[in-house]
Amino acid sequence: MKKILAILTALVFVFSMATMASAAGSPSGDKTYKVTITTNKKDSAKPSYKSVKNGDTLELTADEDTDEYAFVRWEITGDYEIVSGDLESSDLVIKPLGDVTVKAVYADLVDDDSDADDPGEKNDSSKSPKTGDVWFLYLGGIFAASVVVAGTAKKLAK
């Protein structure tokens, strides 16, 4: 009986590791990412939607400053890497690593009741913050399953 439980524990471990490895989502050249581009300018066109292939870059160019609006910064949500420029330069090149939303933020120079957000602290990082790492959940699940199987084996052995 102990041998059967040991084999079952080993199989659970092997299949768990195989599942985790296959779910690791390696990049593929055929994958495309959705890109949503917006702005806070009142008279601008509706948001534009694009897509880019995995590995391609996205060139962003802000409208030139006018007497009414001045470019402040880019706000980007999603997983991306900055190739050239920074979030406060009017020309920016990024490589999306997943779906991204890009917002061009402008200061309203005419109206003192500006809707533009405070620029806040400058982020000099060339990469987006890493989120969604759950490898520890997989390992915790494998550990918990092993403890349960081992405890069951001890009870059955008595």
The contacts of residue 119 (CB under 8 Å, 6+ apart) are 72, 73, 88, 105
Domain residue limits, the chain = 1-25+133-158, 31-127
Mean pLDDT of 118-122: 59
pLDDT tens digits for range 79-102: 999 999 999 998 999 999 999 999
Element (H, E) at 13: helix 2-22
- Higher pLDDT, residue 145 or 96: 96
Give the per-residue pLDDT at 88. 92
Domain 31-127 classification at class level = alpha beta
pLDDT tens digits for range 7-16: 878 777 767 7
pLDDT tens digits for range 34-83: 998 888 887 665 566 688 899 899 999 888 888 888 899 999 999 999 99
The long-range contacts involving 123-127, CB below 8 angstroms and separated by at least 24 positions, are 123/87, 124/86, 125/82, 126/81, 126/82, 127/80, 127/81, 127/82
